[in-house]
Amino acid sequence: MTLVQMQTRPAGAGPTHRKAVEAMDSAGPQVWDDMSVEVALSVMAAARTGRLVVCDQDSQCTALVTQRELTAIRNSSAYTDRVRLRDVLGVHAPFAAP
């Protein structure tokens, strides 16, 4: 399983495509929704970012999650190390990063 997916910018990308890729890059690293909350927090720390783009098994971006949200989940009384991002994020439609 790949923990973080990096996107390369095609050399011939037009201005519209460049804007979309830059927006995704600025949103944070991409992770999969089957990742545990603890691992997602570790990825955030390693990437020195405060947010992650969460993707589903079809590589569709489904959510943007922040360090504050994940820390609150980890500190809750219902938390276990088996909690996955998809368990706490619920069902989301694909989104476009700001």
Structural domains of the chain, ranges and CATH numbers in brackets: 25-89 (3.10.580.10)
Write down the pLDDT at residue 89: 83
Predicted confidence at residue 25, as pLDDT, reads 53
The long-range contacts involving 57-61, CB below 8 angstroms and separated by at least 24 positions, are 57/32, 57/33, 59/5, 60/94, 61/24, 61/30, 61/94, 61/95, 61/96, 61/97
pLDDT of 53 reads: 94
pLDDT band at residue 20, thresholds of 50, 70 and 90?
A: very low
**CB burial class (10 A; 0-12, 13-18, 19+) of residue 40?**
buried
- Per-residue pLDDT tens for 25-77? 556 799 999 999 999 999 999 999 999 999 988 988 989 999 999 999 999 99
Report CA 50 to chain centroid distance, whole Å: 10
pTM over 0.75: no
* CA 30 – CA 64 distance, rounded (Å): 9
